[in-house]
Amino acid sequence: MRILRIVFLPLLIFIFTLPSTSAQECYWIFFRDKSNTTFDPATYFHPKAIERRLQQGLPLCDSTDFPLNAQYKSQTAALSEEVMGESRWFNALAVKTFQIEDILALPFVKNVQRIDGDFLPAAVETDIADNNTPSPTQLTEQLYLMKGEAFTERGIDGKGLRIAILDGGFKMADTHPAFQHLRDSNRIVATYNFPLKKENVYGWDSHGTMVLSCIAGIDEHGRPLGLATGAEFLLARTETGLENRVEEVWWQMGMEWADRNGANIINSSLGYGKDRYNPDEMNGTSLVAKAAQMAAAKGILVCNSMGNEGDDRTWRTIITPADADGVLAVGGIDRDGNPSSFTSLGPTTDGRLKPNVSAMATRVDVANPSRSQLYTKASGTSFASPLTAGFAACAWQTHREWSCQQLLAEIEKSGSLYPYYDYQYGYGVPQADYFTHTSPASKSPTVKLYQTDSAIFIVVPDECIRNKNLLYHIAQADGRLVEYRTVLIKERENIVKVQKSSYRNIEGWVLRAYYDGYIAEYHSDNNILEPFPKEQYSQRIYWRSTEIHTAATDQPRVQGVNARYNFAPYFSLGFPVPTGGRMSTNMGDIVKGGSSVSFVAGIRYKHNFCKWYSLGGNLELGGTWYRLNRPVGLDPYSSLTEYTWWKRVTLSMGTLSLEIYQRFRLAAGGLFGYGIFLDTGIYGGIVFSARQSLASRNRDTLLRLSTDDVKRLQWGVRARLGYDIVSVYVQYRISRLLNPPFEDVDCPHLEVGAQLTLPFGK
C-alpha cells in the first residue's frame, strides 16, 4: 500500500494542479507594429485585386497589407514548436508553443489569443439524398426560386467576376463533366491547399465540389446548377477531415490569399459554432468574423452559410463568420419556400438582422464526385450560400459600378419578402428580375389589419388563396425584432389576434404582416386602423393553436451542453484496487478479496467558461462494499475475543459526497456534444451509515459499527477521462477509513471505475 501511495497520489495531485498553459497549445501572437517593413502593391497583388480597389474608390493598400516584421517572426518562432500560419491583416503569427509566457514577455508582442480547436468533421454538414433524374427543363428548381431565367435569358452569367471558394477539398473537380466549361476556358485561375502547403486541391473532400457546382456547374441535361457559369474561380482548401486547432488560421489565410489574387466574391460554406464557441459569442467578435469584415472593407462580398444548427435547442443561433457585419449570411429553405428544418436562425446575439437572405437548401441538385453517380441531391445551408454567391456575381455584372456593400443592400432589396424580414428568411429569396428591371407590379392587398382598444387583428380575406404561410412580426422602432411568427392560413383559421398589452413597454413598436406578396403595417405611435368588424367575423376562430414558428420559443437554452451551464445526473460503478494480492500491516497480512465494489448516483453541475475549460461540482450518494479475506489464525484484534479466528470481513458504507472539479475539453464532438474531456478534482464526504459482517470458521457475526469506529469525514482526489457521456475514472482516498481499534485493517485507497452521464439540455 505504501508503494501505491508513493506512486499514485503524487501523479493525481500533479494532474489536478496541472495548469492549462503548461501543455502545448495553439495561439495567435499579435505584434505591436510593422516597423521596418516595406510594401509594393504592384508586385504583391494580382492586377484583378488592384482593379477591384480602383473600381470601388479604395486605396491600393494600407497598413494591413504590409508584411509582418521578419525579426518579430523569427524570435517568436524560436520559442515555438511550429509556426502554423500568419495574418498580415491582423499583424499576427499563429504558433504551437509550450512557452507562451516567454513569448508574452517579448517587447514587440501586444497580446495573444488562444486558438480553440476541435477534432470533428467540418462544421458544415451535408445530407446526401438519393438522386432522382431531373426533367430536362431550362433551369433547376433551385434557380427557378431565384427567377434565374431573368439572368440566363439575357446572357448574364457572372463574366468578369472572380469568385473564391474556401472549403475542405474539391474531389474530382478537375475531371468532373459539370466543370468542363471552366477547364476549357481556363477559368479556375488559382488553387492552394493550406493544410498541405501546395497547390493541389482536387481530393480529400467532396463538399467543395458540390459547392462549386452550385455556383457554376452544368448538369448532364445542359442545365446550369448555379448562375455564375461565366465567372473565374479561386479554389482554396482550408479544412481537413479532422479539425486540428488550425482551421480558423487556414480560413483567415485563405481570405487574405483570395484578396491578393483578386477575388470579388468569397463563398464560405463553412462556419464555427457550437463546437468552439458559446451562443452569446455569436456577435461578430470572433477573429474570423473580423477577417470577413476586413474583406468587406477591401471591396469583397463575402457569402457565408448560416449553419445547420436549427434543430439543436442548446444553440438556436447563427455561426461565425456569418455573424459579421458586411457578410451576406444565407439561410436555407425548401422547394415550397418553407425554412429548412436544420437552418440556423438569427439574429446575432447582439440583435442584428441575420440571415440577410435565403436560398434553397433542401434536396439541392449538385455535382457528385462519384464515377458511378455524377449528379445527386444534397441538403444543407452549405448549398444555399453558393447559390447566392453565383446570383451575386450576376447581379454585380449588371452594375459593376457598385461597391460590395451597395451590392449587398441591393440583393436584400431584391428579396422575395422585401421590405418584410424575419430571422428565418431574412428578406427572402433574391429575385433576378429585380436587376433586369422586369419585376412584376405589386400585388393587390391580401391581408388587412383592424384594431380594438386592446388588440390588433390580422385578417386574410375570404377571397384570398389559402394554405399559404402568413408571416408577421413585432419590431422596435430601430427595426430590431421583438417577436416573429409563422402561421399556416386555413379555410376557417384566417384571423390572428395580437394583444397590444404584450408590447406596452416597447416605445414606437411596429407590426408588419406578410401574405402572398403583400405587406401591411401598423405603427403603434401614429397608426389608426379601422375598428375590427366583430359582427362580420363572429363565427371565425381566432387562430392560436397551429403556429409553425415562434421566436420566443427559439432562443438558445441557457442550460445545456453548449450553453453556459449544464446539470446532468450520472451513475458510477467502481472497483477498489488492488482486488487481489496482499497488503501488509503491522498486525499481519490481510488479503483483499475480488468482490470489493462501489456504486454512486449523483447530479453534476458544470459552468462553461469557454469551450475548452469548465468548473463544476458533483453531489453524489454512494455505497461501497469492501470484502477483506484473512488467513484463519491471525488475529489483529486479540484483545477483542468476539472477533478471534475470523476469516473474512465485509464492510459496507453509505456516503454523501461533494466534488469540486475542473474540466479540460480536449476535443469537441460526440452524439451528445461533450466531446473528449479530462476532469480533475477533489472530493469530500460524510459517512452516514456503516456496518461490518465478520465470518469465522464456525459462524457469521453481524456488527453495526458506531460513529466512533468510522472516520465520518473522508476526502481524496479524482481524475476522469471521457468521451461524450461515458468516462473512466481513478480516485485516491487520502483519509483513513476506520478509527481504533480497526485502523490497521485499512481498506483500499485506490479505486477505478466507469461513469455514465445522462445528457440534459441537448
Q: What's the chain's average pLDDT?
A: 81
* Crossing angle between the packed helical segments 287-297 and 247-260, to the nearest 10 degrees: 10
Percent above pLDDT 70 for the chain: 79
∠ Cα 672 313 279 (to 5°): 90
Q: Residue 167 belongs to what H/E stretch?
A: strand 162-167
pLDDT for 441 equals 61
Give tens-digit pLDDT for 600-630. Answer: 999 999 888 777 788 999 999 999 887 765 5
- Given 3-state DSSP classes, what are the helix, strand and coil percentages for the chain, each rounded to the nearest 5? 20, 35, 45
3-class secondary structure per residue, 355-370: CCEEEECCCEEEECCC
| Mean pLDDT across 656-680 | 85
Q: Is pLDDT at 500 greater than 80 in this prediction?
A: yes
Give tens-digit pLDDT for 525-576. Answer: 877 888 888 777 765 555 543 444 444 444 555 556 666 778 899 999 998 8
| Mean pLDDT across 688-703 | 60
Closest CA to 746 of 733, 737, 755: 737
∠ Cα 290 294 295 (to 5°): 120
What is the architecture of the domain spanning 565-757? Beta Barrel (2.40)
pLDDT for 397 equals 95
Alpha-carbon distances of 68 from 71, 100, 292, 371, 671, rounded to whole Å: 9, 19, 20, 45, 42
pLDDT for 8 equals 46
Confidence of residue 372 (pLDDT cuts 50, 70, 90): confident
144/140 Cα distance (integer angstroms) = 6
pLDDT for 391 equals 96
pLDDT for 298 equals 93
pLDDT for 392 equals 95
Q: Are the C-beta atoms of 216 and 96 separated by less than 8 Å?
A: no
Q: Is pLDDT at 4 greater than 70 in this prediction?
A: no
The length of the chain in residues reads 762
The answer to whether the Cα torsion of 413, 414, 420, 421 is positive or negative is negative
pLDDT for 90 equals 93
Q: Torsion angle of alpha carbons 483, 488, 493, 496, nearest 10°?
A: 10
3-class secondary structure per residue, 249-311: HHHHHHHHHHHHCCCCEEEECCCECCCCCCHHHCCCCCHHHHHHHHHHHCCCEEEEECCCCCC
Confidence of residue 689 (pLDDT cuts 50, 70, 90): confident
CB hemisphere CA count around 100 (13 angstroms): 22
38/66 Cα distance (integer angstroms) = 7
Q: Is pLDDT at 93 greater than 90 in this prediction?
A: yes
Q: Which residue has the higher pLDDT, 523 or 310?
A: 523
CB hemisphere CA count around 585 (13 angstroms): 18
Q: Which residue has the higher pLDDT, 295 or 739?
A: 295
Q: Residue ranges per domain, the chain?
A: 23-114, 127-434, 448-540, 565-757
Provide the CA 469 distance to its chain's centre, in angstroms.
30
Quick count: other Cβ atoms within 10 Å of Cβ 585?
A: 13
Q: Is pLDDT at 308 greater than 60 in this prediction?
A: yes
Q: Is pLDDT at 708 greater than 90 in this prediction?
A: no
Ranking 128-137, 180-189, 423-432 by mean pLDDT, the lowest is 128-137
| Mean pLDDT across 244-256 | 83
Q: Is pLDDT at 50 greater than 90 in this prediction?
A: yes
pLDDT for 77 equals 92
176/257 Cα distance (integer angstroms) = 25
Give tens-digit pLDDT for 183-205. Answer: 999 999 999 999 888 989 998 88
| Secondary structure (3-state) at 757 | strand
Ranking 223-237, 494-508, 682-696 by mean pLDDT, the lowest is 682-696
Q: Which residue has the higher pLDDT, 634 or 707?
A: 707
Alpha-carbon distances of 476 from 409, 451, 466, 550, rounded to whole Å: 21, 19, 30, 17
Alpha-carbon distances of 730 from 574, 586, 716, 755, rounded to whole Å: 9, 27, 11, 11
Confidence of residue 170 (pLDDT cuts 50, 70, 90): very high
Q: Is pLDDT at 140 greater than 60 in this prediction?
A: yes
pLDDT for 249 equals 87
pLDDT for 357 equals 96
Give tens-digit pLDDT for 343-371. Answer: 888 888 888 889 999 999 988 889 888 76
Q: Is pLDDT at 288 greater than 80 in this prediction?
A: yes
pLDDT for 704 equals 46
| Mean pLDDT across 642-666 | 77
Closest CA to 289 of 253, 326, 247, 240: 326
pLDDT for 741 equals 59
What is the architecture of the domain spanning 127-434? 3-Layer(aba) Sandwich (3.40)
| Mean pLDDT across 416-444 | 84
Q: For residues 394-422, b (16+ Cβ closer than 10 Å) or e, as one string?
A: bbbbbeeebebeebbebbbebbbbbebbb
Confidence of residue 13 (pLDDT cuts 50, 70, 90): very low
Amino acid at the residue 12: L
| Mean pLDDT across 755-761 | 83
Q: 448-540, what's its fold?
A: Immunoglobulin-like (2.60.40)
Q: Are the C-beta atoms of 424 and 341 separated by less than 8 Å?
A: no
Start-to-end Cα distance in the chain: 43
| Mean pLDDT across 61-86 | 91
Quick count: other Cβ atoms within 10 Å of Cβ 144?
A: 14
Q: Which residue has the higher pLDDT, 706 or 496?
A: 496
Residues 6+ apart with CB under 8 A from 731: 12, 574, 683, 716, 717, 718, 719, 750, 751
Percent above pLDDT 90 for the chain: 38
pLDDT for 314 equals 67
Tell me if 127-434 shares its fold with 448-540. Answer: no
Give tens-digit pLDDT for 464-490. Answer: 777 788 899 988 888 888 888 888 887
Confidence of residue 126 (pLDDT cuts 50, 70, 90): low
Q: In what side-by-side order are the strands of the sheet with 162-167?
A: 188-193, 232-237, 162-167, 265-268, 301-305, 327-333, 357-360
Ranking 156-160, 427-431, 690-694 by mean pLDDT, the lowest is 690-694
- Helices and strands per DSSP (H, E), number in the chain: 13, 35
Helices (H), 89-187: 100-104, 141-144, 149-152, 180-184
Q: Are the C-beta atoms of 306 and 344 separated by less than 8 Å?
A: yes
